[in-house]
Amino acid sequence: MSEVEIASPVPVLVRGASVSLGPFAPWGPALTDGMRAAERQFYADPAAGVQMGYWEGTPGESRASRDGYTEIFHVISGEATLHTDGAESIRLEAGDTVSTPSGWSGRWEIHRPLRKMFVVVYDRG
C-alpha cells in the first residue's frame, strides 16, 4: 500500500488496530511535558476536501481546535476526556465515535494511550 492513496476508485482497506503509524514524536500542541504522538494519513481526496488517517497519543493534555474543518473520529483503543470550551466534557473509550465540528475548540486529556481513526472534511466556501 502506498503512503497516501489519492482519490482511488477502489476501496482502501486499513487494519486500524495493528497498522504502524511510524515513530512517536513530541506532540506540538501538548500542555503536558513528554506527551508524544504518531499519525499516518492513508487517504486523501483534495477535490472533495476529505482525508482519512490514524492518530495515536500517549497520556497527557493538549489543546485542539477545528478551524476550517470538521473531524469525525472513532476511538479504537484507550481512554480520554474531551473538554469542549464552554460546554460539558465527555469521556471517551474504545468503540466511541465523535464529531468535532468546524469552529470547535477545547482540550484533550488522554488517560490511557489513545488510538483513533479520523476523517477530516474541509469546509466549502
Q: Is residue 64 part of a domain?
A: yes
Q: Is residue 91 part of a domain?
A: no
**Residues 87-95: what's their mean pLDDT?**
97
Domain span including residue 55: 1-7+37-70+96-117
Q: At 14, is the secondary structure helix, strand, or coil?
A: coil
**Residues 55-63: what's their mean pLDDT?**
97
C-alpha closest to that of 69 among 119, 3, 7: 119
Q: Is residue 87 part of a domain?
A: no
pLDDT band at 91, cuts 50/70/90?
very high
* Confidence check: pLDDT of 2 > 50: no
pLDDT band at 27, cuts 50/70/90?
very high
Predicted TM-score (pTM) of this structure? 0.89
> What angle (nearest 5°) sits at the alpha carbon of residue 116, between those of residues 112 and 45?
160
Q: Is residue 20 part of a domain?
A: no
